[in-house]
Structure formats: C-alpha cells, structure tokens
Amino acid sequence: MDYQTITLEITDDLAVLTLNRPDVMNALNAQMRAEILHGFKTAEGHARALVLTGAGRAFCSGQDLGSDSSAASLDLERTLRDEYTPMLRKLNDCAIPTVAAVNGAAAGAGANLALAADVVIAAESAIFLQAFTRIGLIPDAGGTYWLPRQVGMARAMAASLFAEPVSATQAAQWGMIWEAVPDADFDSHWRARAAHLAQGPTVAYRHLKEALRASHDNSYDAQLALEARMQGKCGDTRDFREGVVAFQEKRKARYEGR
C-alpha cells in the first residue's frame, strides 16, 4: 500500500508506525484508519515489536471532525463497527509487543488508540483527554473498556464526565500508562525500550499477552491451567533453550523470536 496518512519503517525487527497528518494533529479519517490497519498487519508479519507514535506536536487528536463529510451527519455506529473496531482489534490481538510512544496530546479516540497498546510511554508534556462529552458523546474506541481496568471506576468516571485533560505524569501515577519521560529524553528512551522488545523472546511475549488478558474472565483454576498450557508451548521454543544456556554461561541471551 502507498501510504498517504502514515509512515511505516521497519529496521532491526522493529516497526515504527507514525501517524502523519501533523497539520490536523493526526486526526483520524477513514483513509488513515485503513492505512493504520494495513500497517499493523504488515508490522506483525515483518517485525518483532511495533511502535505507534505521531508526527508533529500531537500524538492523535481523535476523530477528524473537519473532514469532507459533515461531522454531524456521520454514521457513528457504522464508523466504529466497520473502521475503528478492525483497527483496534488488530492492535489488541497483535502477535508482537506493541508500544504507544505518545509524543503529545492524545484526545478522544486518539487517547484510546494509545491505551489499547501493550505499553504506553509518554513525554511529560503529553496529555490524555476523554473529550467525548464536550460534543455530546460517550467515550468510544475502547475507552469504556480500558479506562476502568487501568485506573478504576472512580477515576474513569470522572475523567470521562468532566472531559478534563490528564497529564502524562498523572496518568503514570494512576496506572493508566507505564511511564512519563522528560521530553528531552523521550525519543531515545522509547526507542531503547522498543528495541529491547524487538530482540526479546517473541513467542513468550505473545503467550504472556494472551494469558494476562484472559485473566479478566478466568477463574483461578482456569488461569492456572492456561498458564500450564502456554508455558508448555514456550518451553518448546528455541528461545527458551537459548535463555537457559545464556543464564548458565552468564551472558546475554541472543533470542531469535522462535
């Protein structure tokens, strides 16, 4: 695909997908959603870790309300079902670790796109804003799913009702994101974090993600059984054997992702 609204770079097993509409703070339109979905699929097939970030001063300002079609006439249910859901499901189900490197404002669907990643690293100047009630809507793009799980019902409710910005530092303190990083260190920091994941035990990462997410619905006994099954699969990998040998030889493991 010839991308017009994103860029995708894959180097040393790391894919970096950059939302690239800086003139509109990387607002999401139909073309961009389709390109993001395609980019996620490409990264999953050709890299061992994926970073999602934004060009310019914002990460993503959410739905593009100034696009060609009138915002008030949007078929919101169809748009969410047919365009947002496939994109968000691919990010959630991605077989490789995903990192949202939030370089600036993440608002509305843009905030919830970031929160769907496995790990969120934000610049300290970034903010997260559930802006939906400002225009008479409820949080979407997975916001009503992720927020209560990440920060608890009281904070999720107030952040959504008041539609007030949450700073990156506050988001990290709440457990909404993994960490907030000084702006001067942000780029080098997320790249180092992502490179670590790209060189890690990819199969184990995939099963780890599946196991943690299944725990929301499983009983304790069901989760123990799932752990046993998935650990058996990890134990059959070349990476497990390499990890053990590296431990015994007191050196850094050289994982191949298989």
The two most distant CA atoms of the chain are separated, in Å, by 64
Q: Kindly list the structural domains of the chain, giving each domain's residue range(s) and its CATH number in brackets, ordered by start.
A: 6-198 (3.90.226.10), 202-249 (1.10.12)
Instruction: State residue 73's pLDDT score.
Output: 62
In terms of Cβ atoms closer than 10 Å to its own Cβ (0-12, 13-18, 19+), residue 103 is buried
Q: Which amino acid is at 243?
A: G
For residues 123 and 186, give the distance between their C-alpha atoms in angstroms, rounded to a whole number. 6
Compute the distance between CA of residue 185 and CA of residue 203 in angstroms, rounded to an integer: 30
Strand partners, 17: 8, 52
Give the C-alpha separation, 213 to 229, whole Å: 15
Helix (H) or strand (E) holding 60: strand 58-60
Handedness of CA 96, 101, 102, 104 (dihedral sign): negative
Mean pLDDT by 10 residues, the chain (258 residues): 95 98 96 98 97 98 77 81 97 96 98 98 98 95 96 97 97 98 98 97 96 95 97 96 94 92
Number of other residues whose CB lies within 10 A of the CB of residue 70: 9
Name the phi and psi angles at 32, rounded to 5.
-65, -40
**Token code pair at residue 158:** 């107030």
* Among the listed residues 184, 196, 198, 30, the one whose alpha carbon sits nearest the alpha carbon of residue 103: 184
Amino acid identity at 156:
A
Residue closest to 105 by CA, chosen among 52, 164, 60: 60
pLDDT at 66: 81
Torsion of the alpha carbons at 201, 203, 206 and 211, rounded to the nearest 10: -100
What does the pLDDT read at residue 69?
53
Which pLDDT score is estimated for 246?
94
- Record the tokens describing residue 97, joined without a space: 């670790």
Q: What is the pLDDT of residue 98?
A: 98
Length of the chain: 258
Distance CA 238, CA 125 (A): 42
* Res 71: pLDDT: 59
